[in-house]
Amino acid sequence: MPATPRFSACRWYRRAGSYLLGSVLVFTTSCGEGGGVTPPDTTVDRVDVSASAVSLRAGESLQLSAMAKNAAGGALASGAFSWQSSDAAVASVSAAGLVNGVSPGTATITAVETGSGKSGTLALTITAAPVAKVVVTSPQPRLKTGKRIQLTGTPTDAAGAPLTGREIAWSTSAPGVATVGADGALAAVGAGTVTVTATSEGRSGSVSLEVFQLPPASVVLPPRLKVMAVGDTVHLRPVALDAEGDTIPRQPLWTTSEVRRGSAAVLELREAGVFHATALGHVALYAELDQVRSGTVVVAVTEADELFATALAGGAERVQARRGEKVTVPLVLDMSRVQAPGDLGALEIDVTYPHSVLRLDSATPGLAGSVGQSSVPGRYRLSFASSTPAGTARLTVVTLVFEVAAGALPGDTARLEVKFPSAPASTGFAAYKLPIVAAGTVHVLP
């Protein structure tokens, strides 16, 4: 019987492979001397980390994959991976390898194969999320002229998450109503409606505000008395206030009443509130806004050694009071020429008033020494026979206090006048030139 050929398993597979090369996939095995099959290499040599992109925007997510491989590059089944980020402030990573972009920058994500401790990395770049819109907020929907508030502009991404570190440009639709600074500080300047817009990276948001204005309650105008020489300049700043005491950002208008020595104007208005003295005389000025008047300022343009007298506080032209109320009248004089007791000689000053409207309540001299006083209804007289002034320049000589008479009627006016009945030439008073006198009127209110 013929012998049966014997083939090793390795030779049979090699020969079968050569027969079927053209039509089937060839499987190769490793054969040892003993003819056995070598098992595959399952030792983890490295870990490859991959993703569909290597950059993402802040606020976006990206899924990473990790694969354990042997030395030949073959993929191996792995139990699990742990994940970590080199900079969680730039990019964070979950236990499943999901990366979230946090802020612009670069971060390296590492995957560690838990069984072998082998790891792999992937560098990611996080870019800034684009501005999708700007949210503008105001602490209040309306505000009064003269007030300031702080607006807030917040750039957000498409999901509405706030974005930091973005530049914002501010603008206003009506600068005459409100102005806005580079930091979003808004100042209300005039009544009306305004839209304020904040723009960042081509996206913008806005808020509408109403600016209202309370009517003027008073106009304040210091000083009440100003004595100056020809060529001098005075700056008067009237301020209009509302009922809450806040400044109204509008300029009151001027009204003047001159008493001239000659034909030339006493004052010249050169710009807002700036007056230049051009000739001798005195001017009563007041400022008015929406029919609300200030007190009166008296500006006297005098020569050297010229006597000046005023009958109402600060040279005011007009005061208002009700029946039973008191009006204080300081009589002011420039006494700088007086050098010694008796220098004024028998100088007398009369203050006259209608006694049906005003009643003299008290009189307090402001000079040291003997000052003569006498009064009859409708007149108060002050004499300086042997008085010594308590100073050298524009002193309060006497303070008069009047009470509005009980019989005075609303609308009555009491004109105060200052007169010099005598001015002896043999005394120091003769050195003064013609006196300028500003009296005044008390108006009775209902």
At which residue do the structure tokens 């053209």 appear? 22
Total count of residues recorded for the chain: 446
The pLDDT of residue 19: 35
d(CA 385, CA 369): 9
- pTM of structure: 0.49
Per-residue confidence in pLDDT tens, the chain, 446 aa: 444 444 333 333 333 333 333 333 334 444 444 456 778 888 899 999 999 999 998 888 999 999 999 988 889 987 799 999 999 999 999 999 999 999 899 999 999 999 899 999 999 999 988 999 999 999 999 999 989 999 999 999 888 889 888 999 999 999 999 999 999 999 999 999 999 999 999 999 999 999 999 999 999 887 677 778 899 998 888 999 999 988 887 889 888 877 676 788 889 988 888 999 999 877 878 899 998 988 777 787 877 666 667 777 666 667 889 999 999 888 776 665 555 555 556 667 788 999 999 999 988 776 554 456 777 899 988 776 555 554 444 455 678 899 999 999 999 999 888 877 765 555 555 555 556 677 788 989 98
* Angle, CA of 228, 230 and 233, to the nearest 5°: 60
Residue 118: partners with Cβ closer than 8 Å, 6 or more residues away: 44, 45, 46, 47, 68, 112
SS3 state of residue 442: strand
The pLDDT of residue 36: 61
The pLDDT of residue 18: 37
- The CA-atom distances, in angstroms, between 163 and each of 134, 141, 173, 375 are 10, 25, 26, 82
The pLDDT of residue 181: 97
Give backbone dihedrals phi and psi of 111, rounded to 5 degrees, phi first. -110, 125
> Exposed/middle/buried for 12, CB within 10 Å: 0-12, 13-18, 19+?
exposed
The pLDDT of residue 346: 63
Q: What is the token pair recorded at 251?
A: 């300029």
Determine which helix (DSSP H) or strand (DSSP E) holds 293, and give its type and residue range. strand 292-293
* Angle, CA of 154, 155 and 161, to the nearest 5°: 95
Which of 362, 398, 397, 356 minimizes the C-alpha distance to 377?
A: 356
The pLDDT of residue 422: 64
The pLDDT of residue 32: 45
The pLDDT of residue 187: 96
DSSP code at position 37: B
At which residue do the structure tokens 């929907």 appear? 141
